């Protein structure tokens, strides 16, 4: 029974990804750059800049890897995002809470060789709102599991029929920070800064 459910989930994901991809290509004229850089196997953390609600579906539809996106729990109230959350096995985060359920689920996914997606900014246009600071969630997960981080730059106005692009950078390997079992805050900060630099560099690309 579980195999049947998983089969239909895979079919559902493929169909939804296809329609999201076509929609983004036609309505937002999205250009996909650097997809060949994405490792086809192994645990990955996809990290991009966050402009609009279009960003998560855009990443899911173009990455070529099944990923579980980490998103704020409030999105479950929206019927469309609730449906996408079920199909793509979203990991919902309770904001301003000490609940670590979402982090445990993300760790479990990565340790099994899966992929997750998240926005280190923590919110839309977070680089502007938070004085350029980003959260250490992605760096912690990477250092804890050995997962590589795929930086993403999403460029454009996100207005219909304007030019937009999603740019994938080279996967970042943080194994140099994981030689010791204990994860130091200083290493988390360094890894976060590297992730931020790569995202900002990619998101500054002219299209």
* pLDDT at residue 126 greater than cutoff 60: no
HEC string for 181-199: CCCCHHHHHHHHHHHHHHH
Residue 100 contacts by C-beta under 8 Å, 6 or more apart in sequence? none
Nearest to residue 46, comparing CAs of 201, 186, 167? 167
Q: Which residue has the tokens 């979402």?
A: 102
Q: pTM of the full predicted structure?
A: 0.90
Average pLDDT of the residues in 141-157: 95
SS3 63: coil
Question: Quick one: pLDDT band at residue 71, thresholds 50, 70, 90?
Answer: confident
Residue 32 contacts by C-beta under 8 Å, 6 or more apart in sequence? 62, 165, 166, 168
In this prediction, residue 121 carries a pLDDT of 81
In this prediction, residue 127 carries a pLDDT of 67
CATH fit for domain 2-203, picks 3.90.105.10, 3.40.1130.10, 3.40.50.20, 3.40.50.2300: 3.40.1130.10
Residue 127: alpha-carbon gap to chain centroid: 16
Question: Quick one: pLDDT band at residue 164, thresholds 50, 70, 90?
Answer: very high
* pLDDT at residue 143 greater than cutoff 90: yes
In this prediction, residue 177 carries a pLDDT of 76
Cα–Cα distance for residue pair 15/12, rounded to 1 Å: 5
């Amino acid at each position: 029974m579980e195999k049947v459910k998983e089969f239909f989930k895979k079919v559902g994901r493929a169909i939804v990804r296809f329609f999201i991809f076509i929609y983004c290509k036609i309505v937002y004229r999205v250009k996909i750059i650097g997809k060949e850089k994405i490792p086809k196997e192994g645990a990955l953390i996809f990290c991009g800049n966050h402009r609009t609600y279009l960003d998560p579906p855009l990443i899911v539809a173009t990455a070529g890897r099944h990923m579980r996106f980490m998103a704020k729990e409030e999105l479950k109230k929206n019927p469309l995002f609730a449906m996408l959350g079920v199909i793509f096995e979203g990991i919902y985060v309770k904001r301003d809470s000490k609940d670590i359920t979402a982090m445990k689920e993300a760790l479990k996914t990565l340790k099994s060789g899966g992929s997750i997606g998240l926005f280190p900014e923590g919110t839309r246009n977070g680089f502007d709102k938070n004085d350029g600071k980003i959260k250490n969630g992605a760096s912690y997960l990477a250092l804890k599991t050995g997962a590589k981080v795929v930086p993403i730059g999403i460029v454009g106005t996100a207005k219909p029929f304007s030019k937009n692009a999603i740019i994938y950078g080279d996967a970042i390997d943080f194994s140099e920070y994981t030689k010791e079992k204990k994860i130091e805050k200083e290493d988390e900060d360094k890894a976060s800064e590297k992730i931020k630099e790569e995202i900002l560099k990619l998101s500054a690309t002219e299209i």
